[in-house]
Chain A
Amino acid sequence: MNSFELEIDEKSYVASMFMARVANEIRRAAAIEKASRKITQQEIANKIGTSRAVVNREMQGLENLGARRIAELLWALGWEPYFEARKIPAGVNDGPPLLSQPVIMPPELKTSQGTLSLKSPVYVSHSST
């Protein structure tokens, strides 16, 4: 055994990856707003009427956010969600999901050397359509 492939059932994979993607997008928006106008989690919490601790958990990606909350968080940041459902092309429904949404998180990310500068999201194109 020179390599081992981890497995997860497709349903769980699709769901957890989408949840993570949503959280990443909210963090990306928050990082950009924080960098440009110093918005804080407390200010976001105040705008949507909850506590900073709740916003922090949601931003960390620990929560399965409902559609309402996603819209509220992005609204508080001055952003809006964009969602599109799409039929999986025939013949390609037997593998992990296609990615075609932004996959780059913000450049907010604190590094050991400081904070990275802002960059544009990178999009992954459809490779199998």
Chain B
Amino acid sequence: MATFDKLLKANVLVRVTFRLPRGQFHERKIYAYPGCLEWMRNEIPKMVTGRVASDFTPKEQLIERLRQWMSGDPMAYGRMFRDMEPKIDEVWEIKTADLRIFGWMYRPREFIAVRAGYADDYKEPTKIKNYADERREVVKARDTLPLDGDKYTEGNFDELV
């Protein structure tokens, strides 16, 4: 078992940061598993918008949503951030038009991203993934994470975000 700092030093988790605009400060944090980080770094830049035909590229969507998260800007429950069913699992999802990021709240305002995917992959007729699998993978990752103390924080949107 290890402290959270040790897991960061061992790169089991990586803090994701972003240079916020002048006048904004890091009010919330996001950490990612290496696989999820690789997806952000290498896969998203190659993506194009899907059936929603957004005028934002997926990378722009990610950056803007993370800017909102990190800067402490309001997040709209449902459209931007939501807890997955069943809520007892305490798995949360960050959403953009084309992207889905699944993880859990380690502490209020601290999100750990485990899995991620392209929104159209979860929708018929191009469905190749499903939300239940992602939720299970998040729970499995959390259960097996060798972290001392409480691994996650329970609470509703207003308390955690």
Contact = CB atoms under 8 A, between A and B. Distances in A.
Interface string A112-123: 110010000000
Contact of A100 (B23, B55, B67, B75): B23
Contacts of B55: 19, 62-64
Interface stretch (A3-11, A39-47, A67-75, A76-84): A3-11
Contact of A96 (B22, B37, B77, B79): B22
Contacts of A100: 23
Bin the interface of chain B by size. Answer: 35 or more
B41 interface: yes
Nearest to B44: A6
Q: Is the interface of A mostly helix, strand, loop or mixed?
A: loop
A128 B20 CA distance: 14
A1 interface: yes
A116 B161 CA distance: 13
A31 to B, nearest CB: 10
Contact of B59 (A8, A96, A105): A8
Interface string B1-43: 0000000110100111111111110000000100001001100
A105 B79 contact: no
Contacts of B67: 17
B158 interface: yes
A8 B56 contact: no
B76 interface: yes
Interface string A86-107: 0000001001111110011101
Given A2-B11, A17-B21, A17-B67, A110 B97 contact: no
21 contacts: A1-B11, A2-B14, A3-B15, A4-B32, A4-B37, A5-B19, A6-B17, A6-B18, A8-B63, A16-B57, A62-B56, A92-B22, A96-B19, A96-B20, A109-B77, A112-B82, A113-B157, A124-B23, A127-B22, A127-B23, A128-B22
